[in-house]
Structure 1
Amino acid sequence: MPSLNDISLRQLEYVVAVADVLGFRRAAERCHVSQPALSAQIQQLEEVLGVKLFERGTRRVMLTAAGEELVARARRVLTEAGDILSAASRLSDPFAGNLQLGVIPTVAPYVLPEVVPALVKQYPRLRLRLREEKTELLVRALDEGRLDAALLALVPELGELEHTVIAEDPFVVAAPPGHPVAKLKQVRLQDLDEENVLLLEDGHCFRSQALTLCTRIGAREVDFRATSLTTLAQMVMSGEGGITLLPSLSVPTENRLGQLVVRSFAAPVPSRTIALVWRPGYPRADALRELAGTLRSVWPGHKGEAKRS
């Protein structure tokens, strides 16, 4: 029977990398090692365990049934090992070392250019490692220990993740010049009944929130799904697709040339809640709460307005 001396965290890291990308070459690049070295370490681990973790074909790599179970356990081991390092860092300086921070695409381009310099100035020993992904992927990365925290919109799918609120981000209506919305000072929900609305593609939490609102007010989704808010704004500017909903956070960037008619909603104003989230038991949670306070103080358009959770 193999002992703990026969298994290394490095081997587990290599196995998880291959499982993530289903390829040895890309996994080696991700781990910054040569492919032969990575392959040899995984083969050695398979020999120690007495099971095959991967099916190796000429064109693809797949996890075996045994690999599925053992990779899941390897992820948990690596998460715990990472938390040990984080705890040690916290005991010396909670704002020293790496912080893996995820950000959703409907937030990242509108806040990072402003808040990152502020964080670097406030915490000079902290090295931010940023990752932009959709909510589902960020939540998975948090659960697996590949991220320390994430900036995203609160949705029910977050489960048991802990959080602290950064800001409320009201929705606005964006329409092309000449659209009837331009005559309104504020938009009531009933004003959008039967309007054609462009939305983001599946996977964006903002799409889900906007779609729920559109369904409630009787607006119709156009048969086009954008990959970004920039694409939505450009399509509306063209005057060919209809109107759209945008988070207020994005308006200074997406309407910087003033080619959109932008109107706020009358009360009750639909909005999303932006929060900093992390997994339960994360050892630097107190530091994240302090960092959230810094984020609130420099948040574009919402300085000092958001309440703590």
Structure 2
Amino acid sequence: MQKTTLEQWRMFKAVVDAGGFNQASSVVHKSQSSIHHAVTNLEAALGVKLFEVSGRKVMLTEAGQLLLRRGKYLLEEVSRIEDIADSLSEGVESELRIAVDGAFPQKVVFKALEKVSGIFPQVNIDIVDTVLSGTNELILEGMVDLGLSAFTMNDSLNDEICRIEFVAVAHKDHPLHQYKRELTYEDLKSYRQIIVRDSAIQTNRDSGWLGAEQRWKVGSLRASLDLIAQGMGFAWLPLPLVADLLDDGTLKLLRLVKGGKRSSNFYLNFKDQDKLGPAAREFIGELRFLTLEISDFSG
């Protein structure tokens, strides 16, 4: 038989989060005495001291620090179970929120979502454009249900979905194409490089070669492509995005000795598969099917 209750663990965590019993009282809207009673009973049931008083401050004991970590996990699991129950009771989700890295071929995503909408026309679709770490940050914050990213996530599900090739390109009339030999990174340094800003706020990262003396940062791959197509610089861009402009001659590949092409795996990421509704599951299945035949987006 269990010696503790979820309410006792919630009050324990509330005191830690708020910084004291009085502060916790205002947050959870319970009397200070009831919170103190719950924590005292928890300590008695566990047989350990969770807090010690230092002046006017309430400090966690060493045992309290250890049990806090376990308690947080317990409360998170309960919250997840309740969310899953809500999902099951409600049936089909009312909205499907998907974060998509700008380097992933949008036409594949749109085609998969068209299939989903045909089966679940009542589900609203919310697509969020991201760059680099942006997808995973939105998943961690619970802002989207799932996402497509070039980066895996810790303690989450990362389903490798495809491989995408990035190529170094510039407008056909760019001076870099006037060299009568293969280019080196040293040659690139004197010309403007267009790079895309990470859309994540908490975890910001750069990607690829960033050695040019002049760099312009933009907020999306589409903006980067527009600048490149106007002869404003060079960049490494995903092959699916630039394929048409390469075919019609607007853009040309940079003839680099090395590094002109690079590839990156892309992943379908989500935190908890059990919390995904029928529409999300249908999207995942359709996306896997569509990328099965095109597992490598390269030339």
TM-score by length of 2: 0.56
Residues 1:290 and 1:166: Cα distance change in structure 2 (over 3 Å): farther
SS at match of 1:48: coil
Identical residues among aligned pairs (%): 15
Rg: which structure is higher? 2
Residue 212 of structure 2 corresponds to which residue in structure 1?
220
For 1:194, which of 170, 187, 191 is the aligned residue? 187
- Tell me the residue number matched to 1:34: none
Q: Can you give the 5+ residue segments of structure 2 that lack an aligned partner in the other structure? A: 1-5, 11-24, 36-67
Shift of 1:277: 0.7
Q: Which AA in structure 2 matches 1:200?
A: V
Shift of 1:283: 4.1
Gap change, CA 1:224 and 1:96, over 3 Å in 2: closer
What residue number does 1:142 align with?
Answer: 139
**Residue of structure 1 equivalent to 2:161:** 166
Residues 96-111 of structure 1: matches in 2 within 5 Å? 97-107=94-104, 111=108
Structure 1 gaps, min length 5:
8-42, 52-68
Which amino acid is 1:84 matched to? Answer: A
Q: 1:88 to 1:124 in 2, by over 3 A?
A: same
1:249 is aligned to: 240
1:50-84 deviations in Å (ceiling 9; x for gaps): 69xxxxxxxxxxxxxxxxx9xx9998875553233
In the aligned structure 1, how far is the partner of 2:98 from the partner of 2:173? 42
Q: Deviations over 1:157-183 (max 9, x none)?
A: x22221222221111222112236658
What CA distance in whole angstroms lies between the structure 1 residues aligned with 2:277 and 2:157? Answer: 9
Closer/same/farther in 2, CA of residues 258 and 232 from structure 1, 3 Å limit: farther
Structure 1 residues 146 and 203: CA distance shift in structure 2, 3 A: closer
Note if contact 1:75-1:144 (Cα within 8 Å) is conserved in structure 2: no
Matches within 5 A, 1:88-99: 88=89, 97-99=94-96
| Letter aligned with residue 199 of structure 1 | I
1:304 aligned partner: 293
Aligned to 1:85: 86
- Paired letter, 2:29: E
Whether the 8 Å CA contact 1:172–1:265 is kept in 2: the answer is no
Q: Which secondary structure does the structure 1 equivalent of 2:222 belong to?
A: helix
1:64-111 CA-to-partner distances (Å, cap 9, x unmatched) read xxxxx9xx999887555323323556xxx6x66543322234448555
Structure 2 CA distance for partners of 1:87 and 1:263, relative to 1, 3 Å: farther
Structure 2 counterpart of 1:151 = 148
Corresponding residue for residue 47 of structure 1 = 29
**RMSD (Å), alpha carbons:** 4.9
For residues 173 and 272 of structure 2, the distance between their equivalents in structure 1, rounded to whole angstroms, comes to 50
- Residue 231 (structure 1) aligned with residue 213 (structure 2): no
Q: Supply the distance in 1 between the matched residues of 2:255 and 2:81 (Cα, whole angstroms).
A: 46
* Residue equivalent to 2:250: 260
The question of whether the paired residues in 2 share the 8 Å contact of 1:236 and 1:260 is answered with no
Q: Secondary structure at the match of 1:250?
A: helix
Cα distance change on mapping 1:281 and 1:233 into 2, 3 Å: closer
